[in-house]
Structure 1
Amino acid sequence: MKANIFLVSILAIGGLLVSCLPQEGDPDTTAALPVKNLINLAYGTHPRQVVDLYLPANRHENTPTLILVHGGGWMEGDKSDMNPFRDFIRDHLPYLAVANLNYRLADAANSPYPMQLDDIQALVAHLNEHREEYRLGPRLGFIGVSAGGHLSLLWSYTRDTEGSVQLVCSVVGPTDLLDESYRTASDPSLRKMLDLFGEDEELLMAASPRQQVTSDAPPTLLFYGGQDPLVPNSQGMRLRDRLSELGVPHEFHFYPNEGHGWLGLNLVDSLIKLKSFVEKRLPEEE
């Protein structure tokens, strides 16, 4: 489940937004701590368990971290796919630390669940263990695209025992593996991805954000396209309805003529909404 064109285009759109989004002032050259980038930082022992960690200038003990989770149908993809999001955040939300991670990829012998959630868990544990060294606070946010959106939602809804996640954003992420449209899917490429989870209903339920969400879930931002060939409309809409039932703060943005990612004015609209949501839910100071 990829949205590469969507991601790459953020680089161009981000430049246009310089003139239409509120801008931060120039970096404070007297800041006690400069910008620091830690590339391919290991958070585990597997070669895929690495993260690019971008630490902002003048960070402090309450600086929040936004974790980026790439897509690729749970079996492909790389953290570099999320670099356009990384650049947009660093340009327009420069007070945030950004953690752009790789995780172990699934195959016929290795199910995405719970392996990939365990990798996110290991990253969060690493950040907590080194919080004083990195000068970061406990507050977290997630942005995931496609399969990364699914993983971001699921970890935030089921693994955040400390209440650290202040927001989670899914861009075209699957939400319910028990959805009839998925259970009966016949498209070979889609079937190959879904079959990674097997057929056990208890596991499929445990691996479905919509089935696991509770009233304690963090504020949730959802973006979906009405013509998406990989993620049926029911995926985003049924999670939206469940969030409403539970009273979880959320925004649902639906682009009826878009597919598994989009360009142009709708992308500008999405990025403006993303920036506003992050500023509200993950402010610089709290």
Structure 2
Amino acid sequence: MQSFTSGGQRIEVEWFAASGGSAAGGGTGTNGPAVLLLHGADGLTYAEGYRLAARTISASGYHVAFPHYLDRTQDRRVAYSRLRQDFPLWATTVRDGVSWLASQPGVEAGKLGIVGVSLGAALAFEVAASDARVKAIVDYFGPFPEGLAARQPRLPPTLILHGALDPVVPVAQAHAIERLLKQQGTPYEIRIYPGQGHGLTGTTQFDSAARVASFLGQHLGPDQA
């Protein structure tokens, strides 16, 4: 287990080294792209699911860092009564995580992305809005942070994956993000899955994984500046 410090707190990080493809150098000793994987409000409740996602991404040739950002507030899962007050602290921690990731051996600092799930996606948008080091975002059914659209941030290329029947984060949130990206001429892809709720099940999991691999290859791959 690795770690970095944010706000005086030790933030644990699970590291998944790139294990396949040529995107991360293919064992040639060259630096390669890397992503932060940000869990949702469930924290580590379903950690094995996030670890499976990390291994899948790393198998495509990307270093993956899975930070336990709730360590900043010493929580195991989100306390909804404190969500608004804690959100800026977690965003700062994710920003510190980007700095940590950029400094890791074998990581090409100019090719960093964030894969965020639900709350993790909201944090990805919040951080990328003011941190140009983030070159790509994968948004798994995340909400748009409150007030962010009004600030008209320049976001990086974004892949939006959302369930049409999501009862937790309405699909309208996905379309709001799409509108901003379209207005600004930012490259994006969107896939709304019919019949899916807050989370993807069955064959949609395989479809989304394939889309993530393709998207990251386009925006963080070896031929990208």
- Normalising by the smaller structure, the TM-score range is 0.7 to 0.9
Pick from 40, 46, 54: which aligns with 1:86?
Answer: 54
Write the distance in 1 (CA, Å) between the matches of 2:199 and 2:64: 22
Distance 1:176 1:137, change over 3 A: closer
CA pair 135-251 structure 1, distance change in 2 beyond 3 A: same
**Shift, 1:235, TM fit:** 0.6
SS in 1 for 2:108: coil
- Is the partner of 1:273 in helix, strand or coil? helix
Confirm or deny that 1:137 pairs with 2:100. no
State the distance in 2 between where 1:213 and 1:84 align: 34
Aligned match for 2:91, one of 110, 113, 117: 117
3-state SS of the aligned residue for 2:125?
helix
149, 152, 160: which one aligns with 2:124? 152
CA distance in structure 1 between the partners assigned to 2:51 and 2:184 by the alignment: 34
Q: What residue identity is the alignment partner of 1:280?
A: Q
CA offsets 1:123-173 (integer angstroms, 9 cap, x no match): 222234x44xx1321120110111111111211122x1xx32221011010
Give the alignment partner of residue 16 of structure 2, picking from 54, 60, 70: 54
CA deviation string 1:206-229 (max 9, x = no partner): xx4x34443x32101101111111
Does the 8 Å CA contact 1:67/1:143 hold for their aligned counterparts? Answer: yes
Cross-structure match for 2:23: none
Distance 1:59 1:144 in 2: 29
**2: CA distance between counterparts of 1:285 and 1:60?**
17
- Contact 2:164–2:197 at 8 Å: present in 1 too? yes
Is the strand fraction higher in 1 or 2? 2
Q: In the alignment, what sits opposite 1:63?
A: 32
1:126 aligns with 2:100: yes
Cα 1:285–1:258, aligned 2, differ >3 Å: closer, same or farther? same
- How many angstroms apart in 2 are the aligned matches of 1:231 and 1:258? 12
Separation in 2 of the partners of 1:231 and 1:102?
A: 22
What's the offset of the Cα at 1:59? 6.2
Task: Please list the CA deviations of residues 86-123 of structure 1 after superposition, one character each: whole Å capped at 9, or x if unmatched.
Answer: 121122x1x21111111134544672231001111222
Indicate if the aligned counterparts of 1:154 and 1:212 stay in contact, CA closer than 8 A.
no
State the percentage of identical aligned residues. Answer: 25
Unpaired runs of 5+ in structure 1? 1-38, 178-204
Q: TM-score, normalised by structure 2?
A: 0.81
| Paired residue type of 1:219 | P
How many residue pairs get matched? 204
Instruction: Name the larger-Rg structure.
Output: 1
Give the Å deviation of 1:60: 4.4
Shift of 1:244: 0.6
Q: 1:96/1:125 Cα in 2 relative to 1: closer, same or farther (>3 Å)?
A: same
Q: How far apart, in 1, do the equivalents of 2:188 and 2:95 lie?
A: 24
What residue in structure 1 maps to residue 156 of structure 2? 218
Q: Which moved more, 1:263-272 or 1:243-252?
A: 263-272
Question: Aligned equivalents of 1:98 and 1:141: distance in 2?
Answer: 10
The 1:84/1:124 distance shift into structure 2, 3 A limit, reads same
Whether the 8 Å CA contact 2:36–2:98 is kept in 1: the answer is: no
Q: Secondary structure, in 3 states, of the residue corresponding to 2:9?
A: coil
Taking structure 1 as the reference length, the TM-score comes to: 0.65
2:191 alignment partner, SS class:
strand
- What secondary structure sits across from 1:137 in the alignment? strand
Distance in 2 (CA, whole Å) between partners of 1:231 and 1:220 is 18
Classify the secondary structure of the residue corresponding to 2:221. Answer: coil
